Structure 1
Amino acid sequence: MTDLLASTPSLVQERRLVTEIPGPRSRELMERRAATVSSGVGTTLPVFVERAGGGVIRDVDGNSLIDLGAGIAVVNVGNSAPKVVRAVQEQVATFTHTCFMVTPYEGYVAVCEELARVTPGDHEKRTALFNSGSEAVENAVKIARHATGRQAIVVFDHAYHGRTNLTMALTAKNMPYKHRFGPFASEVYRVPMSYPFRDAPGMSGAEAADRAIRQIETQIGAANVAAVLIEPIQGEGGFVVPATGFLPAVAQWCREAGAVFIADEVQTGFCRTGDWFASDAEDVVPDLMTLAKGMAGGLPLAAVTGRAALMDAVHTGGLGGTYGGNPVACAAALASIETMREQDLAGAARAIEDTMVPRLHALGEHTPAIGDVRGRGAMIAVEIVRQGTTEPDAALTAQVARLCHAEGVVVLTAGTYGNVLRFLPPLVIGQDLLNEALDVLEAAFAAATTPVQSAG
């Protein structure tokens, strides 16, 4: 079989603008998009991609943009990692689908074996594969409820867990995720998250956990809780990193209360935070984990991995789905995980943090609008506020993002208040591109925050 990479010139790793952003061809395609695609599907940056890989995206007008989004933390190994490309080509030529529930295949089993190896804890584990993060979360809730015989699910302020009906109920933010889509699933309860930038000064992780646990016990009752579901670092909520000690305290309470501790590592998993999983940083061992995004190099694949007793508690046929664990996606996942190991992409994520965080702190020292710099590994954010306050400044956040886009750097926004710039570069991005992107970001902040001088 002809190797795609052998027959196609490599993608030059540079930022290069040959037209305005978006260019004329992208504008043409946006007109076609408007005529055929639901306006309910948003677009962050209206450039149409022709090719992508490493740390760059090349659009149909020939512009090459630096990618600090990675398809929202999906292409950790890059958009066209060689091992992933070869594995997908080989699998497509063999078979694309049989449905694992009808006639199984080895790739599905091999992915489950890998997930048992790389996820936290040395206990016996089982896995079920699905298509998306939302689907994984829904199934984790099903498993927890079935295994415990309880119904209540505890989630946190600023959480994001998906766009299906149940996961909208689990998600905290109304716009754009929940507005006018109800009624939502019941028996979902929300408690305060540890949010160091917005908590009382000096509040420890243990104190924040005690605050949440008191609310669970008084408003829900420990005996009613099937599961506590939490992102170890919140994603759409603004890359909120809980204070040290918060996650272990919540996990310990779950063990004592007989509740299932579910870590939603859809965005944080697969080396993104400088460990294989964000739970690893404090040696937290979840009962169940929901996984997706970075697992399969851009192909749709998700999983619930957890304690064998919980995963096997569900009756045969209670878990599954027509496309869950598609063989092509499984091949991509196996190649992605191999790439992560061989290239030490957890170490690459830590190197990205070592580059980004000092520069962002330095930028914050002379940019009063930057209220907080936070994150871990290659999951970094700045929270933007009105000078001298903690009041969110969503307008300035959007302006800085637009200026970066115009100069060929893909950045994303996030946060309950829309005032967080988040950075999720592919873990294979070059340091030169990363530094150039930070140069563009610094210039964008300078342009957005410098008062305009009036003539005369």
Structure 2
Amino acid sequence: MERSSNKLVASAYDDYVMPIWKSLNVPVKRASGCTLEDFEGNEYLDVFSGISVTNVGHGNDAVVDAAKAQLDEFVHGCSYVHPNEPVASLAETIADVTPGDLRKTFFCNSGTEAVEGAVKLARKYTGSKEVIALEMGFHGRTLGSLALTGNNAYKRGMAPTLNDVAHTAPPYGYRCPRCNGDQCDARCADELERIIGSHTSGDLAAVVVEPVMGEAGIIVPSRGWLERIKEIAHDHGALLIIDEVQTGYGRTGELFASSHFDVEPDILTQAKGIANGLPLGAFTASEEIANAFESGDHLSTFGGNPVACAAALATIDELQDGIIDATREHGRWLGAELEALEDEYDAVGQARGLGLMWGVELVEPNTTGPRNVAPQPDNDRASAVSEYLQDESNVVMGVGGYYKNVMRFQPPLTISRDQLEYAVSELRMALEATA
């Protein structure tokens, strides 16, 4: 049945779609660049990009053309049964653009699958089973990846099947008693050593971290923190899996966020922005580690779909043709503007980020919050700000963070300075209107 209005689409969601996500409630008829349009012709500035997915802009011509051209050739031949050119070219390109000696890639359909596959590979290579992830981290919602996710809001009522998982403290300097608002440094990373000694049996296969923690509230570690995590993992014979599902493909002003910290992963997971909206995930490892997989150890019927791979190749070309450079420039401007909000508004506890991945943490002034360091998180204010922006300013901005109190700036990387200025101006208006 054709849906021709916002009301009909919303009604169909209520009647037939499982309630798995609190929607931003903008029924989308079409999208272009950084703009969403609903069925009534209303246009919205998108500074969320479908949770950091459409990095080179909605409807990017080069990506759309590449996908259409591949559709005319063939859509599916199961990439692990019939070798084909889009998969071969993308795998070679990923080997060229990823850090260090990462060389061989497995293609799947999502970030969750990429993380679970990476853990399987780490277990096969090391011969060990235990895994450590970060408290407040997010790695997916299937039962295996959910075990790694460090937030009970996602686990309630579930029963994760990976029992050999422990968690260590995140580099959340704003609420860290030791760092008291500064970035967590290498000393905080030493907590991993304690967790290994007290929560594992000496059978550690991998440590899994996001280089910038997205769902936790755009938490940015120090360079020394991530370096120390890798050092400790290797000291215990484990691999470092860096989860770049949300941070990869230009989001932070580098093709991969780990480059900011001069840390090379043993296994790198990717998805979201890799194909600008077409479903594709991947994990990449060195030849030695990758060759631990034997025929039949891992497989995906739809993984490496040639249409998605063609789109991914076009996406990488677009990113390297000036978009990443612009992201760095826009990110410096945006960071200065958002950090200024800390002095302007008592309700803004901290602004933090890299490139065009920024979070603004909202708090209740003159209160004492978790860890007795920073003020109480104000998730009600964050929800009100998001609603104001959508209803009064036609700006779509996500809310996240462990405490659901962080405004998330993650626009398409093609956003203009004028559009960024408008979004920041309207955020100020929303902060004042919800005071």
Q: TM-score range by the shorter chain?
A: over 0.9
> How far off its partner does 1:124 sit?
5.5
- CA deviation digits over 1:1-59, x for unaligned, max 9? xxxxxxxxxxxxxxxxxxxxxxx9312321122111122x2243212111112111111
Instruction: Say which SS state the counterpart of residue 349 (structure 1) adopts.
Output: helix
Instruction: Say which SS state the counterpart of residue 215 (structure 2) adopts.
Output: coil
Q: Is the 8 A contact 1:196 1:243 kept in 2?
A: no
Q: Is the 8 A contact 2:172 2:184 kept in 1?
A: no
What TM-score do the two structures reach when normalised by structure 1? Answer: 0.90
Q: Matched residues in 2 for 1:274 and 1:109: separation?
A: 27
Counterpart pick for 2:429 among 423, 443, 446 = 443
**How do 1:179-328 residues align onto structure 2 when only pairs under 5 Å count?**
179-200=156-177, 201=180, 204-221=184-201, 223-328=202-307
Q: Which amino acid aligns with 1:391?
A: Q
- The aligned counterpart of 2:390 is 405
- CA deviation digits over 1:118-165, x for unaligned, max 9? 1111x2621110000000000000000111110100001110000100
Q: Is the 8 A contact 1:131 1:324 kept in 2?
A: yes
Q: Is the 8 A contact 1:153 1:227 kept in 2?
A: yes
What TM-score do the two structures reach when normalised by structure 2? Answer: 0.94
Q: Is the 8 A contact 2:174 2:183 kept in 1?
A: no
- The aligned counterpart of 2:69 is 90
Residues 183, 249 of structure 1: CA spacing in aligned structure 2 closer, same or farther, 3 A cutoff? Answer: closer
Residues 213, 297 of structure 1: CA spacing in aligned structure 2 closer, same or farther, 3 A cutoff? Answer: same
Residue 109 in structure 1 maps to residue 88 in structure 2: yes
Instruction: Say which SS state the counterpart of residue 221 (structure 2) adopts.
Output: coil
Residue 367 in structure 1 maps to residue 352 in structure 2: no
Q: Percent identity?
A: 38
Q: Is the 8 A contact 1:26 1:46 kept in 2?
A: no
- CA deviation digits over 1:205-227, x for unaligned, max 9? 11111122222233325x41100
Q: Is the 8 A contact 1:128 1:304 kept in 2?
A: yes
- CA deviation digits over 1:260-291, x for unaligned, max 9? 10000000001100111110011100000000
Instruction: Say which SS state the counterpart of residue 152 (structure 2) adopts.
Output: coil
- The aligned counterpart of 2:112 is 134
Q: Matched residues in 2 for 1:363 and 1:249: separation?
A: 32
Instruction: Say which SS state the counterpart of residue 385 (structure 1) adopts.
Output: strand
Residues 27, 227 of structure 1: CA spacing in aligned structure 2 closer, same or farther, 3 A cutoff? Answer: same
Counterpart pick for 1:30 among 10, 14, 19 = 10
Residue 377 in structure 1 maps to residue 355 in structure 2: yes
Instruction: Say which SS state the counterpart of residue 283 (structure 2) adopts.
Output: strand
Any runs of at least 4 consecutive aligned residues in structure 1 with deviations exceeding 3 A, and if so which? none
Q: Is the 8 A contact 1:44 1:412 kept in 2?
A: no
Q: Is the 8 A contact 2:245 2:269 kept in 1?
A: yes
> How far off its partner does 1:229 sit?
0.2
Q: Which amino acid aligns with 2:106?
A: A
Structure 1 runs not aligned, ≥5 long: 1-23, 450-456
> How far off its partner does 1:355 sit?
2.4
Q: Is the 8 A contact 2:102 2:284 kept in 1?
A: no
Instruction: Say which SS state the counterpart of residue 24 (structure 2) adopts.
Output: coil
Q: Matched residues in 1 for 2:21 and 2:144: separation?
A: 21
Q: Which amino acid aligns with 2:57?
A: G
- The aligned counterpart of 1:351 is 329
- The aligned counterpart of 1:7 is none
> How far off its partner does 1:347 sit?
1.6
Q: Matched residues in 1 for 2:109 and 2:366: separation?
A: 44
> How far off its partner does 1:203 sit?
7.0
- The aligned counterpart of 1:13 is none
Q: Is the 8 A contact 2:339 2:352 kept in 1?
A: no
- The aligned counterpart of 2:372 is none
Q: Which amino acid aligns with 1:394?
A: N
- The aligned counterpart of 2:371 is none
- CA deviation digits over 1:84-121, x for unaligned, max 9? 11101110011000001221101111111111111111
Q: Is the 8 A contact 1:75 1:426 kept in 2?
A: yes
Instruction: Say which SS state the counterpart of residue 95 (structure 2) adopts.
Output: helix
- The aligned counterpart of 1:454 is none
Q: Which amino acid aligns with 1:189?
A: A
Q: Matched residues in 2 for 1:62 and 1:229: separation?
A: 44
Instruction: Say which SS state the counterpart of residue 49 (structure 1) adopts.
Output: coil
Once superposed, what is the RMSD of the aligned Cα atoms? Answer: 1.4
Q: Which amino acid aligns with 1:265?
A: E
